[in-house]
Structure 1
């Protein structure tokens, strides 16, 4: 069972994503409300996959992505955001994200995005 760390500043989004991922057979090992907390929890929990929202207080998802990849170049990161602009998607992929999910997402969207894991 793949272990996932969910990062989003909105509690409702974390709960929704957790429910959908558990239906897909993933184990949720932790949650973070911003990028800074995500980096610290990533180091401690060593999840197989981490999700990062882009727009968050304290540290955004793109900054967290770059920090996590500096700690672990093999980190598997999926960006999840309402911001679907091409330039942001491109920057996330160039920075090492393995996928990008646009909010609002559905069970089908999550299942498809995580199926490669």
Structure 2
């Protein structure tokens, strides 16, 4: 069972994401609302996977993703957003993230598909 860190500034979304992922077999180890908190939490809890919102209040998810991978190169990061993937141009493909999931499409199966791709 993979441990997941959920990073999103919207507490309601974090709660829904936790419910969806835990129902699908994931173990949510922490939830945080900023990029800085994500860096700190990841260093402390060593999650297997980070579900990372692109639109964070302190720094964008792309910068947070780079920092997470600088500290933990093997960490699986999946970006998410309320916006569609194509609205980010090449930024997602050029990032070190394993993939992207739209918040409306979030499911445990979708995360597994991205991780195993």
Q: How high is the TM-score relative to the length of structure 2? A: 0.88
* Offset of residue 98 of structure 1: 0.8
* Offset of residue 114 of structure 1: 1.6
Aligned residues: 114
Unaligned runs of 5+ in 1: none
* Cα shift readout 1:43-100 (whole Å, capped 9, x = no counterpart): 1110000011011101221110011111112110011101224362632332211121
* Cα shift readout 1:6-56 (whole Å, capped 9, x = no counterpart): 000000100000000001111110011011110110111100000110111
Please list, as runs of the form range in 1=range in 2, the aligned pairs for 1:95-114 lying within 5 A after superposition: 95-105=95-105, 109-114=106-111
The two structures, once aligned, show a CA RMSD in angstroms of 1.6
Q: Secondary structure at the match of 2:4?
A: strand
